[in-house]
């Protein structure tokens, strides 16, 4: 059995769960792709991810034809379970059923990660969420290669054309942080889903001359908290030119000096 083109599922049996008896522990075995070399993937404890309440996730039932569901992390009890629910205050269903297996993917700002887990129970009150079996370890790839510099920088972001769909509208936003490898932008409306390609545009004064940067990036995470209606979108840069790298280096150093 395979999951998209990321790997194959191999069940093995671990210790008994207090509520469900013998529970299979599912491992996602990564395969080499053009984007990700299998040697980049490591097994780390779930707790090491440092997930925070409200972080965006993607969940998908492990059945043929199932689609991805934009979800969020609510919390976890080590060794017991992980609580996930639909994204946004108006979410009414996890689209998961008791007893089935689902794949969970996400980005913490430092790691891209995925794991498979059994749905122990679903709830509708006091809010919609699913309790998943706690994964002792997850497949993770460290993608953040440098510390980001906090900033407040006007920028626009636009989803790239995909399949038969044209490029989306350019959305005005503010860069919250930036580095040589990625950035986070704050925007007022939803952008797209994790993994989709976008173009980030910002103006930089470099050697007394205005320079317009058009940076290709993928969406690493897309978070929205209960206290802030804005969306915080984490971006990972791709295929930067030498000029892009030179100007980004100047921009991050200048932002750091102003702090």
Residue found under tokens 């503010």: 174
d(CA 41, CA 113): 9
**Is residue 201 within 8 Å of 213, Cβ to Cβ?**
yes
pLDDT of the residue at 72: 87
pLDDT tens series, the chain, 259 aa:
333 333 333 333 333 333 334 434 433 433 333 333 434 788 999 999 888 888 888 999 988 888 888 888 999 999 999 999 987 655 678 889 999 999 999 887 677 899 999 999 999 888 899 999 999 999 998 765 544 445 567 899 999 888 878 888 899 999 888 877 888 899 998 888 888 899 999 888 777 778 889 999 998 888 776 677 888 888 888 998 888 888 887 777 765 555 5
Which domains, from first to last, does the chain contain?
2-142 (2.30.110.10), 149-258 (2.40.10.220)
pLDDT of the residue at 117: 95
pLDDT of the residue at 84: 94
Tokens of 169: 């509208």
* Cβ neighbours of 250 (radius 10 Å): 15
* Cα–Cα distances in angstroms (integers) from residue 204 to residues 31, 88, 234, 239, in the given order: 40, 34, 20, 19
Burial state string for 226-242 with b = 16 or more CB within 10 A and e = fewer than 16 = eeeebbbbbbbbeebee
* Cβ neighbours of 150 (radius 10 Å): 13
């Amino acid at each position: 059995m395979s999951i998209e083109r990321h790997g194959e599922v191999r069940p093995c049996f671990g210790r008994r769960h207090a509520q469900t008896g013998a529970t299979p522990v599912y491992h996602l075995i990564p395969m080499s792709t053009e984007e990700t070399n299998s040697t980049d993937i490591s097994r780390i404890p779930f707790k090491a991810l440092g997930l925070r309440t409200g972080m965006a996730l993607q969940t998908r039932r492990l059945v043929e034809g199932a689609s991805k569901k934009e979800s969020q992390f609510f919390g976890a009890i080590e060794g017991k379970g992980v609580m996930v629910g639909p994204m946004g205050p108006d979410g009414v269903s996890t689209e998961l059923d008791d007893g089935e297996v689902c794949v969970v993917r996400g980005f913490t700002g430092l790691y891209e990660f995925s794991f498979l887990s059994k749905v122990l129970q679903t709830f509708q009150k006091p809010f919609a969420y699913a309790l998943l079996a706690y994964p002792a370890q997850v497949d993770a790839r460290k993608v953040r290669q440098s510390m980001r510099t906090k900033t407040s920088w006007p920028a626009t972001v636009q989803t790239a054309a995909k399949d038969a769909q044209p490029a989306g509208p350019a959305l005005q936003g503010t860069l919250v942080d930036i580095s040589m490898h990625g950035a986070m932008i704050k925007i007022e409306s939803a952008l797209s889903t994790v993994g989709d390609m976008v173009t980030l545009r910002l103006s930089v004064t470099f050697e007394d001359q205005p320079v317009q940067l058009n940076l290709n990036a993928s969406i690493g995470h897309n978070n929205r908290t209960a206290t802030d209606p804005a969306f915080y979108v984490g971006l990972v840069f791709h295929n930067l030119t030498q000029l892009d790298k030179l100007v980004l280096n100047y921009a991050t150093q200048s932002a750091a000096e102003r702090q």
